[in-house]
Structure 1
Amino acid sequence: MKALGGVTDCCALLFLLLTSASAVKKLDSIKDLKDIDFGKSVPKHSLILLHWFANTVEIDNNNNMMRMTFDPNTDYGSHHYGNFERILDPPPRGYRYFTVGNLNQETSVDLPDYVVSPPRGYVGDNRDRIIMRVWEQRLDQVYMTQHYTVSEHQGTTYDPVHTYQVSINLLRRIREFSMRNNQLPLVSLRHRYGSHADVNDIGNKWGNLACLGLLLFIVMEEKHSQNQRDNKPENRRSDNSRPGSSRQQNHFRPEIYRPEIYRPEIYRPEIYRPEIYRPEIYTENDAGELNSSPKCGLCVWLAGSLVTIILIIIIVLLTIFLTSA
């Protein structure tokens, strides 16, 4: 019975390890930031807070180390985070988690004005936070997260679905948009990230915060502008829609295309092709986006079977080990 109890405990520990913070998505580039749905599921203010944090901590480019430049127990409203939701892995011995970003927290060292009172359109609802793992003044992990909305009735816990680990490489990229005297010219930054931003317009609107304004434009506004351009009627026309096209005459199905329910936020021209339209494979996910291919039941079954086999092998090995002991 003791051996069986030991096997049960080991299995429970293994399950926790398999379902722990390894599921937290890691952001490693500006491109990864573009994939986040800022303004809908994630507050736009999160990126402003992350920009401030990246330009506040110290990063040693020689040995990939980060160091705190403020007291995480008091400054900027930062305080200890207990990780009670178990969103993150338990910290190694000596390390502790801290969180920063509460705009209403009274503190002796305040967050800068552009974080507390950002330009219109980027004002958040004080849900976004930065979590950092610290030992003394050494910083080894950074996360971007947020509280649930009030309507979700989850209290003040953090949302694991919208918790992201931010790599040191991404923090370096964000630091390129620094507002210090050694900042790169806006034109250089625009070319580096393949942007079509009007740097003169951004400079006039943002002033001393122009680098931040360019970062926000590249990550959020440019993506939305591109989507709007793609969804214009003149840009959606293809060879199939030309007058006299035989493909249009033979394959257009008016019972499928219904303008009255057209939703531009989920329309994707690269997917929609009338001649091969199959309604059974065009479904929406929870975020309101189109899934262009059906789920592979066999793949899901094989993956589940593989995990089950691995667990059984581990249980058998543990049983043999404990009984022999």
Structure 2
Amino acid sequence: MSRIPAGQLNVRKIDGLEDGIHGDGGNLYLTIKGQARHWTVRYFNPTTHKRREIGIGSAYILTLAKARQVAIDIRRQAAEGIDPLELKAKAKKQKQIPNFAELAERYITEQQAGWKDPRSAPIWRSSLSRIAYPIIGSKIVSSIDTDDILAVLRPIWTVKTETADRVRGRIERILDYATTHHWRDGNNPARWKGHLSNILPKPSSVAKVQHHGAIEWQKIQLVIANLQKSDEVSALAVQFLCLCASRSSEVRFARWEEIDLNQAVWTIPDQRMKTGKEHRVPLSTPAIAILKKVEAFKKDHHSFVFPSIKTGKGLSDVALSKVLHHAANTKKVSIHGLRSTFRYWCGEATSWPRDVT
């Protein structure tokens, strides 16, 4: 392109140049305007064959020798069919795209306000940092493909199937988030249906479902009798949970403002229900008797019905599990399994319809 012989400029000559465009040869030009001085390189677009010009930096920063070397590199790129301006634009765009770890943190931070369980955000961060980040954490989200997802999942798919599937779902949601923000194009490589389902075996086929340990309903009376031997808050909470067939978190974080002793109704607000809908629980006489026992703690602690005596906060799930294991004389049963015990009793010992139970 350039008809100017190479090496037209030198440091001394540059110092005396006036405003204008000055060629060094080899398609390298120095533009001077007042105090501003910057280098440009001209070349032909390898596809359209139109002349283009790319700025390569200030003459105050880029020396003449360095500018000449950059010009050589640009001419080589054009000769190899690469448009330097398009390459520069692509590099700039990629620099603005976050990597997976950065985007995951942003997604968790933005979404956690809408998650019911306060443990969700720490669980997401823990699982991703242990399993996904070592492999794809530093990759920009636009470059993550199916092979990357498989590199994360395959090592644990058959040995920690439930964890692997949960991590897959979390990655899928984060990459969908990236697509919505125009940081990705195309299909989601972490999608199960119609994609990974064609590669990996179904989770249900490689891992047996672990049901919560349930006490046989014929034996629950003995367990309750053992719980009644203790006046500890955790023992009272487990009894109340059995009587109301409630979930652990619903009982542990129950507050006095939800209880109406006069109407014998416990109203659990929607934000504390798994279904997201307000739930009214009719209180039996034994349940009310338990509430009257724990009323003594109401003055010394804030509004939790079953507070931890040490902290004044709601009881932990471990506290309930520990007292149940002691009462049942086995660790093979779980707090959540008490709901199954209730369900079996309804189905086998009563005539109530399934929808009612």
- TM class, shorter-chain normalised? under 0.3
Question: What's the TM-score, normalizing by structure 2?
Answer: 0.20
- Which has more helix, going by share of residues? 2
Q: Which has the higher contact order (CA 8 A, sep 6+)?
A: 1
Between Structure 1 and Structure 2, whose CA radius of gyration is higher? Answer: 2
